[in-house]
Amino acid sequence: MRKVTQDVAAAHADDVDAKARFPIETLAGLREYGVLSAAVPRELGGAGCNLQELSQLCATLAQSCGSSAMVLAMHYIQLACIARHGMDSEWWRTYLRDLVRRQDLLASMTSEVGTFGDTRSSVCAVRRSDGRFRLDKDATTGSYCAHADAILVTCRRDEDAARSDQLLVLVKREDAKLTQTSTWDTMGMRGTCSPGFKLESAGDEAQILPAPFADISAQTMVPYSHVLWSSLWWGIAAGALNKAANFVRGQARQNPGTTPPAATRLAEASVQLHGIKQNWLAAARDFDALGDSPAAREELLGMGWALRLNELKIACSEASPEIVQRALKIVGILGYKNDSPFALGRPLRDALSGALMISNDRIAAKNASMLLVHKEIA
Ligand SMILES: Cc1cc2nc3c(=O)[nH]c(=O)nc-3n(C[C@H](O)[C@H](O)[C@H](O)COP(=O)(O)OP(=O)(O)OC[C@H]3O[C@@H](n4cnc5c(N)ncnc54)[C@H](O)[C@@H]3O)c2cc1C
Per-residue pLDDT at 105 exceeds 70: yes
Nearest Cα residue to atom 53 of ligand 1: 357
Per-residue pLDDT at 376 exceeds 80: no
Nearest-angstrom CA–CA distance, 366 and 92: 33
Residues in the chain: 378
Of 14, 179, 1, give the one whose Cα is nearest residue 73.
Answer: 1
Region 212-235: what's the mean pLDDT? 98
Pocket test for ligand 1, best of 115, 118, 141 (most atoms within 8 A of CB): 141
Listed by start position, the domains of the chain span 2-104, 107-207, 213-371
The answer to whether residues 126 and 158 touch, using CB atoms and an 8 Å cutoff, is yes
Which residues on neighbouring strands pair with residue 176, listed in sequence order? 201
φ and ψ at residue 127, rounded to 5 degrees: -115, 125
Q: Percentage of the chain with pLDDT > 70?
A: 99
The CATH class of 107-207 is mainly beta
Which residues lie below 8 Å from residue 182, measured CB to CB, with a gap of 6+? 140, 195, 196
Per-residue pLDDT at 9 exceeds 80: yes
Q: Tell me, which fold does domain 213-371 have in CATH?
A: Butyryl-CoA Dehydrogenase, subunit A; domain 3 (1.20.140)
Looking at domain 2-104, which CATH architecture does it have? Orthogonal Bundle (1.10)
| 233 CA from centroid of ligand 1 (Å) | 17
φ and ψ at residue 141, rounded to 5 degrees: -145, 120
| 360 CA from centroid of ligand 1 (Å) | 9
User: Across the chain, what does the average pLDDT equal?
Assistant: 97
Nearest-angstrom CA–CA distance, 2 and 276: 21
Nearest Cα residue to atom 31 of ligand 1: 359
- Residues 328-345 pLDDT 10s: 999 999 999 999 999 999
- Residues 57-82 pLDDT 10s: 999 999 999 999 999 999 999 999 99
